[in-house]
Amino acid sequence: MSILYAFLFSGFVCLIAEMIINHTKLTPGHVTSLFSLLGAVLAFFNVYNLFIKKCEMGAIVLISNFGNSLYESGLRGFNSNGFIGLFANMLEKSSLVLTSTIIFSFIFTCIFKPKD
């Protein structure tokens, strides 16, 4: 059942993104930033964790989880080290993903050539 929930949740988020792109002048970059911000706002109200519990990987692999991760890491840093900890721990949960993205992008750029 969790696979069905994951599929439906991810599909619904993608549907919203497509509707925003098709019916507004926003670019995919705008929608990505909007969904990251939405993930942080939902984490603030403790709603995103409910999505993660119900939909599991369907909510974890989306870009909105990046905003959730930033919020949770920043809050944990703020609670442990005060205002400086907010900025020191902001990328704690997502640093592995960001680093691997940079490394694999570099490798694929060296291997493949873009179409002219």
Give CA–CA dist 13/95, Å, rounded.
24
H helix or E strand, kind and range, residue 69? helix 64-81
* pLDDT tens-place string over residues 73-101: 999 999 998 888 888 888 888 888 788 88
Residue 42 located in a structural domain: yes
Residue 5 pLDDT grade (very low, low, confident, very high; cuts 50, 70, 90): very high
Containing structural domain, residue 75: 2-111
Give residue-wise pLDDT tens across range 27-74. 999 999 999 999 999 999 999 999 999 998 888 888 888 899 999 999
| 74, part of any domain | yes
* Contact indicator for 76, 104 with CB cutoff of 8 Å: no
**Number of structural domains found in the chain:** 1
Q: Is residue 116 part of a domain?
A: no
Residue 108 pLDDT greater than 80, yes or no: yes
For residue 6, is it within any domain?
Answer: yes
Sorted by sequence, the CB contacts under 8 Å of residue 99 that are 6+ apart come out as none
- How large is the average pLDDT for residues 2-28? 93
Task: Determine the pLDDT at residue 116.
Answer: 60
- The pLDDT of residue 31 is 94
Average pLDDT of span 91-113: 87
Give Rg (Cα) of the chain: 17
Phi/psi at 100 (5° precision): -65, -35
Q: Give a yes or no: residue 11 inside a domain.
A: yes
